[in-house]
Amino acid sequence: MKISKGERFIYFWQYGMLGDFMAALAVAICRADMDNRARLALGFPDEVEAMNKFHYVEGWWPELQAKMKLSTVEPTL
């Protein structure tokens, strides 16, 4: 089962497993308005897309949790 870069980003963020830069990026994406979020997506498209799914797609997070339990993901980003 393939885990995307964005999915790993969200999963690791939720469990406090991101490094300093990626944790700060997660906070920045969460705090950004839609215009600034679009700007962040220019440099970090996978992370912004996944954060949007986390916030706006019902059931996405529980599905990701289940997917991660079935996967053998390395504990690094």
- CA–CA distance, 38 with 61 (Å, rounded to integer): 22
Query: Per the domain annotation, does 61 fall within a domain?
Result: yes
Query: Per the domain annotation, does 36 fall within a domain?
Result: no
Q: State the DSSP code for 75.
A: S
Number of domains making up the chain: 1
- Tens digit of pLDDT at every position of the chain (77 positions): 789 999 999 999 999 999 999 999 999 999 999 999 999 999 999 999 999 999 999 999 999 999 998 876 665 55
Query: Per the domain annotation, does 77 fall within a domain?
Result: no
Domain that holds residue 22: 5-31+43-69
Query: Per the domain annotation, does 74 fall within a domain?
Result: no
Query: Per the domain annotation, does 16 fall within a domain?
Result: yes
- CA–CA distance, 2 with 30 (Å, rounded to integer): 25
